[in-house]
Amino acid sequence: MLVLIQILLLRNLSFYNIATPFVYILFLLLLPFGMPNLLLYLVAFITGLTLDAFYDTLGVHTAACVMLAFVRILFISVTVNRDGFDEPEPTLGNMGFKWFILYAVLCTFSHHLVLFFLETFRLTEFSYTLLRCFFSGIFTLFTVVLIEFIFYNRKMR
């Protein structure tokens, strides 16, 4: 669903070619904790390949999505104790605001760094690429958190 929204609605949304939202990463962020790593990499690869087909990029989104899956696995393995853990997915309602923001920031900026540096692929525009990465990351985080707050469901404890 989020991939379709990205392709159909947000593909041409850009502010002065500096800030572009990539809301489709929320799909990868909200996959369940119990998903096997190989399946997560496969889903990330297929998601990135789908975006590459519609954006006419040659593997840029695929590499960025696989990087996001890698960072997601590392972050969850460090911060979440899986023993006795019954939460089905890492949402704002299940994990809390502070955990979700840290998770989203790390995954979003790792995705955007790979995406924009592979897209540019030259060091002469290093500062411009970092600027695009920063502002697109902020714009993406804003939309991701906004979507999470719209569908926010506080877990009863």
Residues 101-121 have pLDDT tens digits of 999 999 999 999 999 999 998
Is 48 inside a domain boundary?
Answer: yes
Number of structural domains the chain divides into: 1
What pLDDT score was predicted for residue 8?
58
DSSP 3-state assignment of 141?
helix
**Does some domain include residue 30?**
no
The reply to whether 65 falls in a domain is yes
Residues 39-79: tens digit of each pLDDT: 999 999 999 999 998 888 889 999 999 999 999 999 988 98
Per-residue DSSP letter, 19: B
Whether residue 16 is contained in a domain is answered as no
Categorize the per-residue pLDDT at 16 as very low, low, confident or very high, splitting at 50, 70 and 90: confident
Q: Model's pTM, two decimal places?
A: 0.86
Q: Please give the C-alpha separations between residue 81 and each of 31, 78, 115, in angstroms, as whole numbers.
A: 17, 8, 30
Q: Is residue 17 part of a domain?
A: no
What token pair was written down for 99? 């955990």
What pLDDT shows up at residue 2? Answer: 59
Enumerate residues 6+ apart whose C-beta is below 8 A from 20: 10, 13, 14, 132, 136, 139
**Domain hosting residue 107, numbered range:** 35-82+89-156
Neighbours of 153 (CB within 10 A): 10
Backbone angles phi, psi at 15, to 5 degrees: -100, 105
